[in-house]
Amino acid sequence: MDFRSLARAMSIATPYNLRESIGWVIRNITGPGRKNTRIVESIPCSYVLNEGVKPEHEATFVGDIMPTFRRHVKFGPDVMEFVRGSDFLVGNFSGTITNRQKGFLNLSLDQRHVPDIRDMLARFFPPEKTYLSVCNNHMGDFDNKTFLNSVSMLEAYGFKVFGWNKRPYADVNKNIRILIGTMWSNRDCDYVCKLEDAESHIKHDAFNFLYPHIGYELEANPRAEIIRLGKDLIRTFDAVIGDHSHWPQQVTSESVGGINKLLAYSLGDFCGGLQLKKYQYGIILKTQIGRDARKRQLVCKVEWRITKFSPTSNSEVVVDIIKEEKEVGSTCKLT
């Protein structure tokens, strides 16, 4: 019996083997790992990727939307101003809206959202322009019926939900498609969208964002293998913006065929209720997309900021942009 099978038998859900699971435990105790520094460097927080492109659309991406543990999430003035004017917002909805309780001997870290998360997100950005991916390692935490009920509850508020085998992408309009795929699943799940299948859903003559669930948790820098994966993916997709690390990683640019493409390894956590600092930081990233003189759809300007959700009381958390990168170290500079 392999480690994952043994873990499932003990009611422990993990996407990792024994070695990686031990590393995950250590990083949860000591804080985000700092290995692999300076392999890749972030672009400035306000940066023009491609000159001569007339902006047509503006998209904002955030990282993991984590359970609030019944705390009320508010959004500060700076993050509200940053997202203002965007045509659409994309985020990773990590978990399931359900009132099902954990069993007495169940050691799994299933992610449970409360229904109020819908009101909180709706106050941040209009639901009808908010695209929530459910493609992550927590997709199979519960049975298919519970999963689809959670999707329906989000859709009842107007959110655009995608990220499982019946809905492997979202078309914002005829010119923009958002594709997904995950490296990880805590449980065997036959409706999860695997990363290797994303390419088959590319829309030709459109701008294809890939919003993948990749990398390793609580690591400040992507590993060499993830960098290789990212550089491979960016040759296929028009932009790659990842999540899963629970910590902000580098926002970079890769030149492919004379075009500068956006490659962000992980946006970290956007909001949640945990009072542990290691789970409170993320990146909010805004891109402008337009056409150059050859009518190619390209990213022109990119803006990104580091965010933090800070508990102001036992019942309230405030999400806002932070002004100094020293809170997260030197891996994600604000300049």
User: Do the beta carbons of residue 261 and residue 254 sit within 8 Å?
Assistant: yes
Query: What pLDDT is stored for residue 329 in this prediction?
Result: 59
Rounded to whole angstroms, the Cα distance separating 142 from 136 reads 13
Are residues 58 and 87 in contact, defined by beta-carbon separation less than 8 angstroms? yes
Local structure of residue 100 (DSSP, 8 states): P
Cβ-contact 216, 223 below 8 angstroms: yes
Q: Compute the average pLDDT of residues 51-78.
A: 97
Task: Tell me what pLDDT residue 335 has.
Answer: 39
Q: Write b or e for each residue in 52-87: b if 16 or more Cβ atoms lie within 10 A of its Cβ, otherwise e.
A: ebeebbbbbbbbbbbbbeebebbbbeebbebbeebe
pLDDT single digits (tens) 162-202: 999 999 999 999 999 999 999 999 999 999 999 999 999 99
pLDDT for residue 35: 95
The confidence score (pLDDT) of residue 9 equals 40
In this structure, are strands 46-48 and 259-264 parallel, antiparallel, or unpaired?
unpaired
14 CB contacts (<8 Å, ≥6 apart)?
4, 7, 21, 24, 186
Question: CA 50, CA 47: separation in Å to the nearest integer?
Answer: 9
Q: What is the pLDDT of residue 6?
A: 46
Candidate from 33-47, 89-103, 240-254 with smallest mean pLDDT = 89-103
pLDDT of residue 103: 53
The answer on pLDDT for 333 being more than 90 is no
Q: Which pLDDT tens digit goes with each residue over 17-54?
A: 999 999 999 999 999 999 999 899 999 999 999 999 99
For residue 178, the 8-state DSSP code is E
From first CA to last CA, the distance across the chain in angstroms is 50
- The confidence score (pLDDT) of residue 11 equals 46
pLDDT surpassing 50 at residue 123: yes
Residues 6+ apart with CB under 8 A from 19: none
DSSP 193: P
267-312: per-residue pLDDT in tens? 999 999 998 999 999 999 999 999 999 999 999 999 999 999 998 8
Q: Strand locations in 163-206, DSSP E?
A: 169-173, 176-182
Q: What percent of the chain has pLDDT over 70?
A: 91
Question: Residue 324: pLDDT above 80?
Answer: no
Task: Please state, rounded to an integer, the average pLDDT across all residues of the chain.
Answer: 93
Question: Would you state the CATH architecture of domain 44-326?
Answer: 4-Layer Sandwich (3.60)
Give the separation between CA 89 and CA 155, rounded to whole angstroms.
15
Pairing of strands 88-93, 54-65: parallel
Q: Is the pLDDT of residue 94 over 60?
A: yes
**If you write DSSP's letter for every residue of 28-94 in order, what string do you get?**
HHH-SB--STTSS-PPPSEEESSTT-EEEEEEEEEEEE---TTPEEEE-HHHHHHHTT-SEEEEEE-
Quote the DSSP letter at residue 113.
E
What CA–CA distances, in Å, run from 98 to 132, 150, 188, 277? 17, 7, 20, 26
Rg (the chain; Cα; Å): 19
pLDDT at 101: 75
Domain ranges of the chain: 44-326
E strand or H helix at 283, and its extent?
strand 281-291
Looking at residue 144, its pLDDT comes to 96
d(C-alpha 112, C-alpha 122), whole Å:
19
pLDDT value at residue 100 = 82
Cα distance between residue 202 and residue 322, in whole Å? 36
**What pLDDT was estimated at residue 117?**
98
Least confident residue range of 68-72, 81-85, 132-136, 226-230: 68-72
How much is the pLDDT for 109? 80
More confident residue, 38 or 266: 266
> Which one-letter DSSP state was computed for residue 121?
H
Distance in angstroms (rounded) separating the CA atoms of residues 171 and 184: 24
